[in-house]
Structure 1
Amino acid sequence: MSVLDLVKQNLNHIKFNDQYRTIPKISNHANKYIELNGLKVLNLSSNNYLGLAENDFLKQYSIEAIKNYGCSSGASRIVSGNYEIYAKLEEAVANFKHTQKALVLNSGYVANISLLQALAKNATIFCDKLNHASIIDGMLLSGAKFYRYAHLDMQMLENLLKKDTSNKIIITDTIFSMDGDAAPLKEIVRLSKQYEALTIVDEAHATGIFGEGRGYAYKEGLSGEIDIHMGTFSKALGSFGAYVASSEDIIDYLINTARGFIFSTSLPPAVIGANLASINYILKNPHLGEKLILMSDNVRHFLKNLGFDVGNSISQIIPVILKTNKAVLVAQKILLEKGVFVGAIRPPTVPKNTSRLRISLRADLDDNDLELIKDAFFYLGNTL
């Protein structure tokens, strides 16, 4: 069988199992209301959690950066793709995260792969089983020995730490992207100290939301106890790219060894300008995330009362677990007809038999939007 024949066979298998994906035709990108295949719908599938992707403050910083620096950096940072607002952004991130130093990378995916490739060569990695795919890929590409402990299972993590005598790295999402639940950071920090493990947290879905926007580790009072903080500008912060915040030694080591940093053209000035604006905006508006979490509690309580399984979500991400691929696709279509667009999440993104709708709530929803959401899910609950 040729490679092309194998591709066709695999595609047919994906379609047969209701796992086939297409790129939707969307106008107005990350806006609260979008046009999807010609239909105006409320967008509950975006990670634009604070609505900052359309924020005039961020736009102005981005425009000024283009005027001052042009459209492209033209090279990697360590060659000539550096400019002064990069330094301003990294200083702002380090202050924001209460660390000695920070480094900006091109995406969360690149950041996680680069971190593990650089740090884990002579270490063993301990990873929550539901960590983001970029962490899994980073472990695989690092060539390091690794263990995946059952989701949030601290007893299993401790048992694994006990039996391994090598250098250790514990890495976890703080808010999990498909379940909206939180890592038990206090217990992870305790175990890391007891078993001398380096800790890395991925704050992609917590940055801008928890702890006055500084992240879940800050909310839990653990900023200074975590060795490496990774987060993104591409979700609640409304722009693009990622950061790593840590000690001066760790950041300097990454500058010299992280392949995703060294061998990538740096982000363009427009993105860096918007990123800097987003940090400044959160510092001036530290309680935006609190409003969103209160709203999320309200919607989650409503869905539970309708009998939907929302897992252990405590965040703006609320799964509605329907188990089968077919049920999720039918539910998504019903909600679209009611004017609400929610992502249909299926394996391999989530484990088998846990297919779900993934609700991404956003801080710019008003009372009319919330009423639309509740009406749509009430109708869905009576239809399925």
Structure 2
Amino acid sequence: MTNSWLDEFPARIEELDQAHLRRRRAVVAPDGGARLRVDGRSMLAFCSNDYLGLSQHPEMVQAACDGAQTFGVGSGGSPLVSGHSAANEALEHELAAFVGLPRALYFYAGFSTNVGIIPALVGAGDAIFSDALNHACLIDGARLSRAQIHRYAHIDLDSLDHELKHSSARRKLVISDAVFSMDGTCADIPALLALCERHDALLLLDDAHGFGVRGPQGRGSLADAGLYDDQGTRRVLYMATLGKAAGVAGAFVAGDAALVEWLLQKTRSYTFATAAPALLASALSISLRVIAKEDWRRSHLNLLIARLRSGLAAGLQGSDWQLTESHTAIQPLLIGANDKALAVMQALREQGIWVPAIRPPTVQEGTARLRIALSAAHGEADVDLLIETLITLSRSLR
């Protein structure tokens, strides 16, 4: 009998091991701060997207417990069958009001949101215009749509304008992250909307890393661009995840009421999936109030960002390592070669600090980096320790 292709998986997994591409660790958050217990060891973590430190917030934990007591721990069905609870309904109204848009639709996960809504909006014969550094869920959603994909240079509006101008498609969809997850760069939202208006296009904006931390009261990148409750946002569908700054799980898309109703009816990852449990909506309702009320969290986070940037700028002079021009909680430190980035990550782990090394294919060849994620849960001493350790390693690992 000839060998089956199924017999190849052990060797293929070994190849991943050799490239250090297999990674999953069970962690415990012992005190709700910036530390995680990993394999029995306490680690100072700069790897979480919990930007406001809300994942262990006691009021949100209590709300989830109360929600479980009231609704149970599962939804039991699709939102269009029996899974759309009163708590989920209330959350959708709160989310729409929070970002200043007419209507919102609440999903169980962020990846499935973008993968589902893009094929619901466009299909064969239509055109998608995608930033070169968009997240994988936007890329996969575009591919599933079967629309023609035009990939424009990262935040290059002239390139986008050229592509839009020369497209003959009637339906045009521009898709872009608001804050790019591996670079910390930000889209020029007013300029994107202006191009969409000029070329009769719709903008799908993924604000996974801006919601909660950008704009007045953390209302997101649209509000930061001065577009909160603005009638000019008719051409934007605003998507954000709820497992990062909001501290829980899930995602939502908000926009024109007719567009959102269309997505409710036509998004397969919404229609054919079990709805998110109501206990999460209960916690998220409290999260929105905390985000708006506790502005000190964003102020503290911004202080830490400035402290990290100034400390590394001074300490890494003359080093090949380069801190990118990001003023968000995402602070990528470019190392270059894959093996060097892995060596720095391992050296940090030996010092009790967890910062992930990001390598191709997630980023371009030759741009392997440490993705430093800051949180309001960090203290100034935590950031100072990271700065000092990185400066020391930059000298010893040259």
TM-score grouping bracket, smaller chain normalisation: over 0.9
Aligned pair 1:182/2:186, yes or no?
Answer: yes
Aligned pair 1:215/2:220, yes or no?
Answer: yes
> Which of 308, 331, 339 is 1:299 aligned to?
308
> Which of 209, 226, 230 is 1:205 aligned to?
209
Aligned pair 1:327/2:361, yes or no?
Answer: no
State how 1:105-254 maps to structure 2 within 5 Å: 105-121=107-123, 122-166=125-169, 167-211=171-215, 212-223=217-228, 224=230, 225-226=232-233, 227-254=236-263
- Does the 8 Å CA contact 1:173/1:201 hold for their aligned counterparts? yes
- Does the 8 Å CA contact 1:73/1:266 hold for their aligned counterparts? yes
1:89 to partner: Cα distance: 0.3
Helix, strand or coil: the match of 1:53? coil
- Does the 8 Å CA contact 1:340/1:376 hold for their aligned counterparts? no
Per mean C-alpha deviation after superposition, the further-off stretch among 21-30 and 105-114 is 21-30
Give, in whole Å, the separation in 2 of the partners of 1:160 and 1:12.
42
State how 1:1-384 maps to structure 2 within 5 Å: 2-16=4-18, 18-28=19-29, 31-121=33-123, 122-166=125-169, 167-211=171-215, 212-223=217-228, 224=230, 225-226=232-233, 227-305=236-314, 306-307=316-317, 308-384=321-397
**Residues 287 and 99 (structure 1 numbering): CA distance in 2 closer, same or farther, change over 3 Å?**
farther
Give, in whole Å, the separation in 2 of the partners of 1:287 and 1:249.
37
Give, in whole Å, the separation in 1 of the partners of 2:192 and 2:288.
27
Structure 2 residue runs without a partner (length 5+): none
1:235 to partner: Cα distance: 0.2
Q: Deviations over 1:132-179 (max 9, x none)?
A: 100000001111111111111111111111110212111110111111
Give, in whole Å, the separation in 2 of the partners of 1:193 and 1:6.
51
- Does the 8 Å CA contact 1:42/1:341 hold for their aligned counterparts? yes
Give, in whole Å, the separation in 2 of the partners of 1:282 and 1:5.
51
Give, in whole Å, the separation in 1 of the partners of 2:295 and 2:263.
30
Code of the residue aligned with 2:344 in structure 1: it is A
- Does the 8 Å CA contact 2:246/2:288 hold for their aligned counterparts? yes
Q: Deviations over 1:230-287 (max 9, x none)?
A: 0011001000000111111011111110001000100112211111111121122245
1:31 to partner: Cα distance: 4.6
Give, in whole Å, the separation in 2 of the partners of 1:3 and 1:214.
50
Code of the residue aligned with 1:221 in structure 2: it is G
1:346 to partner: Cα distance: 1.2
Give, in whole Å, the separation in 2 of the partners of 1:208 and 1:128.
23
1:123 to partner: Cα distance: 2.4
CA RMSD of aligned residues (A): 1.7
**Residues 54 and 128 (structure 1 numbering): CA distance in 2 closer, same or farther, change over 3 Å?**
same
Per mean C-alpha deviation after superposition, the further-off stretch among 110-119 and 299-308 is 299-308
Code of the residue aligned with 2:272 in structure 1: it is F
- Does the 8 Å CA contact 1:107/1:241 hold for their aligned counterparts? yes
Helix, strand or coil: the match of 1:237? coil
Code of the residue aligned with 1:49 in structure 2: it is Y
Code of the residue aligned with 2:275 in structure 1: it is S
Structure 1 residue runs without a partner (length 5+): none
Give, in whole Å, the separation in 2 of the partners of 1:131 and 1:6.
32
Give, in whole Å, the separation in 1 of the partners of 2:153 and 2:313.
25
The number of equivalent residue pairs is: 383
Q: TM-score, normalised by structure 1?
A: 0.95
- Does the 8 Å CA contact 2:36/2:43 hold for their aligned counterparts? yes
Give, in whole Å, the separation in 2 of the partners of 1:183 and 1:177.
12
Helix, strand or coil: the match of 1:54? coil
Q: TM-score, normalised by structure 2?
A: 0.92
Percent sequence identity is 32
- Does the 8 Å CA contact 2:240/2:251 hold for their aligned counterparts? yes
Helix, strand or coil: the match of 1:210? coil
Q: Deviations over 1:50-78 (max 9, x none)?
A: 11000011111111111111111100111
Give, in whole Å, the separation in 1 of the partners of 2:78 and 2:245.
26
- Does the 8 Å CA contact 1:203/1:230 hold for their aligned counterparts? yes
